[in-house]
Structure 1
Amino acid sequence: MVSRDAVATYIDFFENLTPEDLPRFEQVFAADARFRDPFNDARGVEAVRRVFEKMFADVDDHRFRVLDHAVDGNRAYLNWEFRITPRGKKQTLTILGMCTVDFREDGKVTAHIDHYDAASQLYESLPLIGSLMRFIRRKIAAV
């Protein structure tokens, strides 16, 4: 069973993550860790770090905040809000989602799997793709 301290440490790590923290990924993630979201499926701590290196390269500002969480055995469930300002843009995007985070007995993360609606929260904000996504949503919606 993962300790509440390990979960709190992980939450703090992500809520305060900066580019200067990238070298610390080996302290947080197991060597064979997996990170998956709607755009990435990275395996291994180096690949996980590259996902976040790219994120920092693509955004001018970001803020990750855990709204609440629960723990069951070696798994934590995090309900979160992620605010990003894409590089060169003025509009901040807010993404709401949740993730499952699996821990080893020593507190290192073996898997972080994000779940969020990329279509409505990201694609629909893009000029050309957004209008197409909104059209499709209207056509297939029951109400």
Structure 2
Amino acid sequence: MTTPIQQSPLDQLLAWYSSLTPDSVKLAVDFYQSDARFKDPFNEVQGVEAIIKIFDHMFVTTESPRFIIHERVMQGRQAFVTWTFEFGLKGKHYTVLGASHLKFDAEGLVIEHRDYWDAAEELFQKLPIIGAPVRWLRRQFEVKLS
């Protein structure tokens, strides 16, 4: 008889993200400490209830959002994960590439979650109205190698 393999807190968290729905957002309480901190290019909040509000807002403002998990590295109580976030906005499909730095407490709950992604490259320059000025501004800072 084989013993079932126990998933690590990181594996459980990433499985939740991979299958996140408007109904499962509330399960963040199973993965995040009550006073966990979350930061991304648009938000900086503390507390699992505030984190839930961010994901609730994501489902209200975007169409069919989903996370695709790629690489993961765990060292001690910290992890680094790369991902793709796909969603629709006003009928147009968008893809954002990013990474998360996660810190866990002794019980395996997330105490700090920091998302890293380039809002200008991954989102702003793809939007119809502000895209052109953002692309122009990025070109002004490019290093010309020729």
**For the superposition of Structure 1 and Structure 2, which TM-score range results when normalised by the shorter chain?**
over 0.9
**Offset of 1:139 from its aligned partner?**
1.5
RMSD value over aligned CA atoms?
A: 1.3
- Per the TM alignment, residue 90 of structure 1 is displaced from its structure 2 partner at its CA by 2.1
What is the CA–CA distance in structure 1 between the aligned matches of 2:92 and 2:111, rounded to whole Å?
A: 34
Structure with higher Rg: it is 2
* 1:80 corresponds to which of 70, 78, 83: 83
Please say if 1:101 is aligned against 2:102: yes
Identity of aligned residues (%): 32
Q: Distance in 1 between matches of 2:11 and 2:96?
A: 21
C-alpha displacement of 1:138: 1.3
SS of the residue aligned with 1:48? helix
Deviations 1:31-71 (A, max 9, x none): 11111100000110111111001001001211201111000
**What does 1:51-66 align with in structure 2 at a 5 Å threshold?**
51-66=54-69
Matches of 2:39 and 2:124 in 1, distance apart? 18
Matched position secondary structure for 2:95: strand
**Corresponding letter in the other structure for 1:133:** V
Unaligned runs of 5+ in 1: none
Deviation at 1:91, TM superposition (A): 1.6
- TM-score, with structure 1 as normaliser: 0.92
Match of 1:67 in 2: 70
Aligned to 2:3: none
Q: Where does structure 1 differ by over 2 angstroms across 4 or more consecutive aligned residues?
A: none
The residue number in structure 1 matching 2:32 is 29
> What is the DSSP-based 3-state SS (H/G/I as helix, E as strand, rest coil) of the residue aligned with 2:56?
helix
What one-letter code is carried by the residue in structure 1 that aligns with 2:106?
E
Q: Does 1:139 align with 2:122?
A: no
> For each residue in 1:87-121, what CA deviation from the matched residue of structure 2 results, as whole angstroms up to 9, or x when unmatched?
xx222111001110111111111111000010011
Structure 2 unaligned segments of length 5 or more: list them.
1-5
- What's the offset of the Cα at 1:23? 2.2
Identify if the C-alpha distance between structure 1 residues 123 and 137 changes in structure 2 by more than 3 Å, giving closer, same or farther: same
How many pairs does the alignment contain? 139
In structure 2, distance between residues paired with 1:140 and 1:108: 40
Q: Does the CA-based 8 Å contact 2:39-2:45 persist in structure 1?
A: yes
Give the whole-Å Cα distance in 2 for the aligned partners of 1:53 and 1:20.
9
Higher RCO (C-alpha 8 Å, min separation 6): 1
